Structure 1
Amino acid sequence: MTIRIYLAGPEVFLADAVAAGEAKKAVCARHGAVGVFPLDPIDSALADAQADRWYAIYLRNEAHIRSCDALVANLTPFRGPSGDAGTVYELGFMRALGRPVAAYSTVAAPFTERTRAFLGDAARRRADGEWEDAEGLSLESFGLTDNLMLDGGVRASGGIVAVRDVPDAARWTDLAAFEEAVRAIVAACAHG
Structure 2
Amino acid sequence: MKKIYIAGPDVFEMDSIEIGQRYVELCKDYGFIGLYPLDNVIDFNQAKQKIAKDIFEANKNLIDECDLVVANLNSFRGKESDSGTIWECGYASALGKKVYGYLFRETTYLEQFHEDEILAHGDTYCDLNGKMIEDFNHPVNLMIACSVEDIVIGDFEKVLKKISNI
Q: TM-score, normalised by structure 1?
A: 0.77
Mapping for residues 13-162 of structure 1, pairs under 5 Å: 13-41=12-40, 51=47, 52-114=50-112, 116-117=113-114, 121-127=116-122, 129-154=123-148, 159-162=149-152
Offset at residue 80 of structure 1 (A): 0.6
Distance (Å, rounded) in 2 between the aligned partners of 1:179 and 1:34: 14
Distance (Å, rounded) in 2 between the aligned partners of 1:112 and 1:82: 11
One-letter code of the match for 1:69?
D
Distance (Å, rounded) in 1 between the aligned partners of 2:84 and 2:90: 10
One-letter code of the match for 1:112?
L
Work out whether 1:180 is the aligned partner of 2:131.
no
Could you give the per-residue CA deviations for residues 128-185 of structure 1, whole angstroms, max 9, x where no partner exists?
x33112343321112212001111001xxxx211013xxxxxxxxxxxx312222333
SS in 2 for 1:7: strand
C-alpha RMSD over aligned residues: 2.1
Offset at residue 26 of structure 1 (A): 1.5
Distance (Å, rounded) in 2 between the aligned partners of 1:19 and 1:179: 15
Q: TM-score, normalised by structure 2?
A: 0.89
Could you give the per-residue CA deviations for residues 29-82 of structure 1, whole angstroms, max 9, x where no partner exists?
11100111001136x9xx99x842111111111111111110000001111111
Q: Is the 8 A contact 1:70 1:185 kept in 2?
A: no
SS in 1 for 2:146: helix
One-letter code of the match for 1:35?
G
Distance (Å, rounded) in 1 between the aligned partners of 2:6 and 2:72: 8
Q: Is the 8 A contact 1:3 1:186 kept in 2?
A: no
Identity of matched residues, %? 32
One-letter code of the match for 1:142?
F
One-letter code of the match for 1:17?
S
SS in 1 for 2:55: helix
Offset at residue 106 of structure 1 (A): 1.3
SS in 1 for 2:135: coil
Structure 1 unaligned segments of length 5 or more: list them: 165-176
